[in-house]
Amino acid sequence: MGLCPKKEKVRKRAIRFDGLPPVALGGRMAYGRYMFTALDCLPCMVRQTAEAAARATADPARREEILRRACRYLSEMPLAQTPPEAARDLHALVREVSGCGDLFAEAKRRYNELLLNAWPKLHEKVRRSKKPFETAVRLAIGGNIIDFGTGHAIDERRVFDTLAEVLEQPLALNALKELHAAVKRARQVLYLADNAGEIVLDKLLIGQFPTCTRVTVAVKGGPILNDATVDDARAAGLSPRADILSNGYDAPGTVLARCSADFRACFEAADVVISKGQGNYETLSGCGRANLFYLLKVKCPVVSRQLGVPLGSLVALQEAATAPLR
């Protein structure tokens, strides 16, 4: 039996502007939304929407409609919601107007294949390392560069250059010892995946967990940017070592109040939760779960300021060390 049940139904909703209710987890109230939208996020969201519109349709009239409606949305949107919540609504708008479903399907397939082809060499690098757990963590964080939401150009050369750099680059925030100790004690690990391609590298880290540890990899409930879905995770070969679970919601993060009951039960039951990428950090930081660890590469000035580290930093952070934003 896997860690979590596998009823996977994605709920649809209209675009809305009101706040989300708190979710009760083990007697605590976890909002998963403490990193609010900064003013700096707004032009980035316009840029991301314009890029998604261009990818979705060549019709100038439809692209104009998307951008005009997106600007209206942003003018009315409460800044008290997290950036991934807004991104979810803006990408839903792109899909609605363009009629295009998974805008990044080809990119996700391509980067999964790219890293699967590199898998034997990367796996051997971890196997030969004097510190295999740390090497696997570094490569998993390096894979976080495969992010089509940041506005930075991504290509094959940049991916492999980054994977070489992360093996030598110091971690700006380093909770590797705490993470390793927690994983060795854990019977159940929940791994919150981020992007396709990157999830192939996550297998390197999952391979360092004790074989008796039950692992569930949670992915997004529907297409959003190049974030991994159930199909992408299966294509990356994450099973049978790990169970694959949809979180039931199509935001590029983990919005607990909108995730499925099955996912929230899994989140609560896990001895350790590993959260990959900026979007998951943005939506979970401040939730107060000491068994939650963030692994990410800092690609955004707002996240850089929030964490107090330079752009491009590698981060392995335990949630207990993060003060909730108010």
pLDDT in tens, 19-46: 333 333 333 333 333 578 999 999 999 9
Among residues 79, 98, 117, the one where a domain terminates is: 98
Same domain membership, residue 162 and residue 253? yes
Q: Are residues 81 and 199 in the same domain?
A: no
For residue 293, being part of any structural domain is answered with yes
* Mean pLDDT, residues 220-243 taken together: 96
Q: What is the pLDDT of residue 33?
A: 38
The answer as to whether 27 is a domain residue is: no
Shared-domain flag, residues 90 and 175: no
Mean pLDDT along residues 272-279: 97
Whole-structure pTM value? 0.88
Q: Does a cis peptide bond (omega within 30 degrees of 0) precede residue 21?
A: no
Is the pLDDT confidence value at 185 over 90?
Answer: yes
pLDDT, mean of residues 295-318: 96
Closest CA to 247 of 88, 9, 86: 9
Q: How many CB atoms lie within 10 A of CB 321?
A: 11
Surface-to-core class of residue 160, CB atoms within 10 Å of its CB (0-12 exposed, 13-18 middle, 19+ buried):
middle
CATH number of the domain enclosing 111: 3.40.50.10880
d(CA 169, CA 107): 27
User: Does residue 19 sit within a domain?
Assistant: no
What is the pLDDT at residue 153?
Answer: 84
User: Are 216 and 272 contained in the same domain?
Assistant: yes
Tell me whether strands 214-219 and 188-192 are parallel, antiparallel or unpaired: parallel
Task: Answer whether residue 11 is part of any domain.
Answer: no
Query: Based on the domain organization, do 93 and 115 belong to the same domain?
Result: no
Average pLDDT for residues 124-134, to the nearest whole number?
Answer: 98
Domain count across the chain: 2
User: In the predicted model, what is the mean pLDDT of residues 188-217?
Assistant: 97
Q: What is the average pLDDT value for the chain, to the nearest integer?
A: 89
Asked whether residue 50 falls in the same domain as residue 112, the answer is no
**Does some domain include residue 268?**
yes
Task: List the domain range (segments joined by +) for residue 44.
Answer: 36-98
- Residues 267-289 have a mean pLDDT of 95
CA distances from residue 12 to 92, 106, 285 in whole angstroms, order as listed: 10, 24, 25
24 within domain boundaries: no
pLDDT (average), residues 157-185: 97
pLDDT at 164: 98
Q: Does residue 123 share a domain with residue 79?
A: no
Pair 224, 84 in one domain: no
Domain termination site, one of 81, 98, 115? 98
Residues 118, 82 share a domain: no
**In this structure, what token pair is assigned to residue 68?**
């005009």
Residue 24 pLDDT: 36
